[in-house]
Structure 1
């Protein structure tokens, strides 16, 4: 059966996460699978590079599917986007891939973006798409704190107690924190890059770094929290609406650059 890779973006607000839910709650996976079912009758199961949580968005999620019909990739993406309406989900790229390609297990890197907006007035156009705080954080202090997390570490402190990963040891390759103007305030963007992440790792890190930016934690407290290897030492877990799965890397990129 022909295998296709799909690059997918979505607003995670209306969904209980990427993964299909046993209780029937709406999920992104189910939404895409049902769209596939309208093209090719029968049951469909797709696999994704990352199982984003409820409320988390994506601009570069990747999934793969197997179809009995040999589709032109462009026509497949167009047909899927038609059947995905009106859900806030879109296929932004589609490619035919080898049968051994796997959206999750073939991936060598995942990239996340977290958007934090600091301003007094409520956000309107970006409501549900950013985490809003009232006061401008100290970006330099957050960068100093983030530096302690780069590299190979036991990230027990920064993973959910429900995390199913066999090991808390991960290599975090990059945390870049940038600041840019935002109407009536400022936007801080956190970009994190690693081969894989633990459950709630990004939100735990960003929530902790926000405490550093607010002055409640010193940058060195991040190192102490990491060394504790204790979930209780973590700062607050930030809300999901500012988080985006921004991209996935493969040894042989399935989509044109």
Structure 2
């Protein structure tokens, strides 16, 4: 038996999230179906992150155990011939038997795109969050600095999270813009349910003047979800990389 690690890119527009469901098309379910067609084995793959409906990934990581004699590095080529165009296996490789895509992760990096223009974009309608109000990037850049470090992020945690602790460490944050696209990137040792999307909703409120940048530390310390901004929509979110 071998343990195979997959690095996966996907457009989440047409899927009900990552996690396999009996009554809906998901990324995990689609890949498992392809593996079954390839090997004849009924395999459950383990993903590093359970991305929501509409969320995308450049570097989702998953692993599965197989008795197939297909060389691990060839799974990517074989699966890509069977998968739809909006899911691509970028790399497949054999890893140690104790590797677990979720529990071995030491951190993740996410990207969120905002399309800041008076009119929506046909091209980015499933790729970015449209904001018609002109955002103040200087204020937003001041705000994101307060996310760095180790904090209890209860105020940025959606209900339904099963995490035992809401303390997380943010390694780095950045905010850049090119023409009408604003790119927010954040890396940390882990993220709570909808944490990145709530961060984005909060800095958007800063950019619109609804929240002051200097209020972010108080919002974090309050541990009160009602103090933070709205939850930004899923289509602007991308899982960029998983650290091991």
Give the TM-score band, short-chain normalised: over 0.9
When normalised by structure 2's length, the TM-score is 0.96
**Where do 1:19-168 residues align within 5 Å?**
19-22=19-22, 24-86=23-85, 88-168=86-166
Write the distance in 2 (CA, Å) between the matches of 1:162 and 1:75.
Answer: 39
Partners of 2:120 and 2:132 within 8 A in 1: no
Aligned residue pairs: how many? 244
Partners of 1:117 and 1:133 within 8 A in 2: yes
State the match for 1:254 in structure 2.
none
Tell me by how many angstroms 1:197 deviates. 0.5
Partner deviation per Cα, 1:121-158 (whole Å, 9 max, x = no partner): 32122220111111331111111111112111111100
Please give the root-mean-square deviation of Cα atoms over the aligned residues, in Å. Answer: 1.2
State the match for 1:8 in structure 2.
8
> Mind listing any 5+ residue stretches in structure 2 that lack a counterpart?
none
Partners of 2:73 and 2:94 within 8 A in 1: no
Write the distance in 2 (CA, Å) between the matches of 1:111 and 1:49.
Answer: 12
Are 2:231 and 1:247 equivalent residues in the alignment?
A: no
Partners of 1:145 and 1:223 within 8 A in 2: no
When normalised by structure 1's length, the TM-score is 0.92
Partners of 2:158 and 2:195 within 8 A in 1: yes
Write the distance in 2 (CA, Å) between the matches of 1:142 and 1:105.
Answer: 33
Partner deviation per Cα, 1:8-45 (whole Å, 9 max, x = no partner): 011111111111124x1111110110010001113210
State the match for 1:201 in structure 2.
195
Write the distance in 2 (CA, Å) between the matches of 1:167 and 1:75.
Answer: 39
Are 2:224 and 1:230 equivalent residues in the alignment?
A: yes
Tell me by how many angstroms 1:65 deviates. 1.1
